[in-house]
Amino acid sequence: MSSYPSPIQTLINEFSKLPGIGPRAAARFVFYLLKKPQAELDALGAAVLNLKKEISVCPKCFNITDNNSPLKKDKERVSLCPICQDPERNQKIICVVEEAFNIPAFEKTGQFNGLYHVLGGVIKPHKGIGPEQLKIKELIERIKNDGITEIIIATNPTTEGETTALYLVRLLKPFKIKTTRLARGLPTGGDLEYTDELTLGSALAGRREYQ
């Protein structure tokens, strides 16, 4: 039986479901929130409630996009993200990332002006995640239909990321397009989300082609 009142324990349980958050950290979050004014809690609650209502997924690259963006068409609820719509971007190069939250790290480098493709994860057989659960089929369609000349594989330098990268290399080989991987210099086992702009920019500039 919990020693906390029910409303507190319920919120602790919900925070504990977040990745990397255990019961102790969740409890600290809840007690921190208890000290905040009601207006701030209302704003936080509204932001959570509206999150999925105001965000959609780009049907082309699977990046997240703001439904309230001025680029949105008046009568079209789901449209391309700003990056896919930008005519100044190089439409022939695609940087393949694991998740949408990897994209801002590349944008901050100022060294990439192509498009992206979000896989939605990596291959993890032990968790039942295979190629069929990722947006790989959609990537192949883009290569076939959009005249892509280079694919940059930018999965994280982890065991799962490398496994996914090698799978993509084998899959893309028949298309005879340039397929590159970020240069070493990124820490093995690291996460691109937390890599500084200088290191990531250097990895982009020094990317190597798969043979």
Instruction: Give me the pLDDT at residue 55, please.
Output: 87
Residue that wins the pLDDT comparison between 1 and 110 = 110
Q: Provide the pLDDT for residue 126.
A: 87
* Residue 201 CB neighbours (<10 A): 18
pLDDT digits (tens, 9 = 90+) for 139-176: 999 999 999 999 999 998 888 988 999 999 999 999 98
CATH number at residue 19: 1.10.8.420
Claim to verify: residue 37 and residue 93 sit in the same structural domain = no
pLDDT of res. 190: 56
User: What's the whole-number average pLDDT of the chain?
Assistant: 86
Q: For residues 33 and 129, state if they share a domain.
A: no
**Considering the domain boundaries, does residue 125 fall inside one?**
yes
How far, in Å, CA of 56 to CA of 103, rounded?
16
Q: With contact defined as beta carbons under 8 Å apart, do 34 and 7 qualify? A: no
What DSSP designation does 181 have?
A: E
What is the percent of the chain with per-residue pLDDT over 90, rounded to a whole number? 63
CA distance 12 to 101: 25
CA distance 5 to 92: 57
Taking each helix axis from N to C terminus, what angle separates 23-34 and 6-16, rounded to the nearest 10 degrees?
A: 130
Q: Is residue 66 part of a domain?
A: no
In a domain, 121, yes or no: yes
**Amino acid residing at 68:** N
Alpha helices in 55-158 (DSSP H): 82-85, 103-109, 136-146
User: Per-residue pLDDT averaged across 90-103, rounded?
Assistant: 95
pLDDT band at 54 (very low <50, low <70, confident <90, very high): confident
Q: Domain count of the chain? A: 2
pLDDT of residue 52: 85
| The pLDDT of residue 75 is above 60 | no
Q: Residue 74 above 50 pLDDT?
A: no
The parent domain of residue 107 ranges over 87-209
Q: Are residues 202 and 105 in the same domain?
A: yes
Q: Examine residue 96 and state whether it is found in any structural domain, yes or no.
A: yes
Nearest-angstrom CA–CA distance, 133 and 119: 9
Q: Reply yes or no on whether the pLDDT at 47 is more than 60.
A: yes
